[in-house]
Amino acid sequence: MLLLGVDQDRNTLLHSAEEAVDAPYLSDHYATYIDDAGREVTLRLQRYPGPHRDFIGLEPRFRKAGWMRVGKVGGAVARLMPARELFAETVAALREDPAAVLCDNPACADCQMQRGKIKAARLRTEDFTLAAVLDDPEPDLPAVAAALQAQGIRHVEIGDHLGERLLRLRPAEIQAFGERLQEVGIQVGVFGAGLGRVAPAEDLEYDRHRLEKSLAILPRLGTRCLRMSVLRAPADRATAAPAVVALLQATARAVAEQEAILLIENEPGTFCDTAQHTTEILDAVGSPAVRLALNPAHFAAVGEKPFLQVYYKGRLKRHLQQLYLCDGLWDGTPALPGRGNGEVKELLSILRCRSFSGFLTVRPPTPGRFDAERFREEAERFWHLLENC
């Protein structure tokens, strides 16, 4: 094969190598044109890559192999390569790394999209579902979808700020929002609206009304999971606990009637702050409709080791339905996953060993506006941990 005055990006042998390894980013593309009779015709291009890839990036590998000869014909640089060896080396590179011919430029939408397809294919080999929190009350859905898809993610948890906004909408508006999510390829896995962040002594009627509205929203968004916090704990925790358990049991019955699942997140300052208190509450409620959304950063913030004390030696594993990929230091300072005291890597590893089939959820520490760059950092840390555990 001779390349004369052009580089490897003009080398169409790449298509054959991608087909040979069944590259995860190959997919059907459609092109529409007007024929000579004025009719609109749509062509289906099967198992098509790209459009942009970075075959240039393999040039050092070809040089190192020793079989590529480089010279000049006039002013044009010439590359002469044996096709068999070129094909075999490209296939080997793609088998070592499916993204071997994709650039690492975060501004290249094509390669980011294709990397996302590789990650989505990788996730299909796992039992868990990877999700991300969407908390922006006015989200730019196409931009959010692009950021999610670049990480192989399709599912979101509706966060408290966005959930609160949805509670104020009419049913038809909520339905329309759910349809817009579907149009950009986003599925709702969990709905949250800040439920439960009140004290037992306060009037709970308003929160009960919000619970009823939240349960009505679930089917319109295509999910069965509702997240809430347990009430804020007063100084006299023991006296107030029975009333809290009774309230949660009533909530569990309402959730079960809807064939839904209530996810309780551990949170400092609530009745589910430590592993012991969380276990006592969940055991006392005694409902299969009530499950745990474990936040490692929150357990670290109350001085507990989330893997060793909470999961391994504790009794919460049987309640677990969701793991937030949140990390932090003992003093509550947020950290990237695997960079704090939350033992996120250890939790991820043991859950994979147990074929955990719930949600692993990326949740950047700053609520509200969707920050694509911060989300990318958090998600990339998850992928680093996944490939190293």
Give, in order, the Cα–Cα distances in Å from 315 to each of 81, 289, 321, 374: 62, 17, 14, 33
8 Å CB contact between 152 and 119 = yes
pLDDT in tens, 222-235: 999 999 888 888 88
Backbone angles phi, psi at 149, to 5 degrees: -65, -30
Angle 321-378-195 from CA coordinates, rounded to 5°: 45
SS3 category, 33: strand
The pLDDT value recorded for residue 240 is 84
Q: pLDDT at residue 206 above 80? A: no
What string of DSSP letters covers 287-349? Answer: -TTEEEEE-HHHHHHTT--IIIIIIISSS-GGGEEEEE--EE-TTS-EE-TTSSSS-HHHHHH
Question: Which residue, among 231, 199, 200, 194, has the nearest Cα to 213 in the 3D structure?
Answer: 194
Give, in order, the Cα–Cα distances in Å from 260 to each of 106, 218, 332: 39, 8, 32
Query: Tokens 């042998």, residue?
Result: 13
pLDDT in tens, 29-87: 888 999 999 999 999 988 888 778 899 999 999 999 999 999 999 999 999 999 999 99
CATH 3.20.20.150 domain extents, the chain: 126-387
Q: What is the mean pLDDT of residues 194-208?
A: 69
Give the torsion through C-alpha atoms of 291, 295, 296, 300, to 10 deg.
Answer: -110
SS3 category, 187: strand
CATH architecture label of 126-387: Alpha-Beta Barrel (3.20)
The pLDDT value recorded for residue 237 is 84
Question: Which residue, among 332, 327, 278, 280, has the nearest Cα to 303 in the 3D structure?
Answer: 332
Identify the band that residue 199 occupies on the pLDDT scale cut at 50, 70 and 90: low
pLDDT in tens, 301-351: 999 999 999 999 999 999 999 999 999 999 999 999 999 999 999 999 999
- Give this prediction's pTM: 0.89
Query: Tokens 């579902």, residue?
Result: 129
Q: pLDDT at residue 209 above 90? A: no
pLDDT in tens, 115-162: 999 999 999 999 999 999 999 999 999 999 999 999 999 999 999 999
Would you give the DSSP letter of residue 230?
P
Bridge partners, 45 (sequence order): 29
CA 221 to chain centre: 18
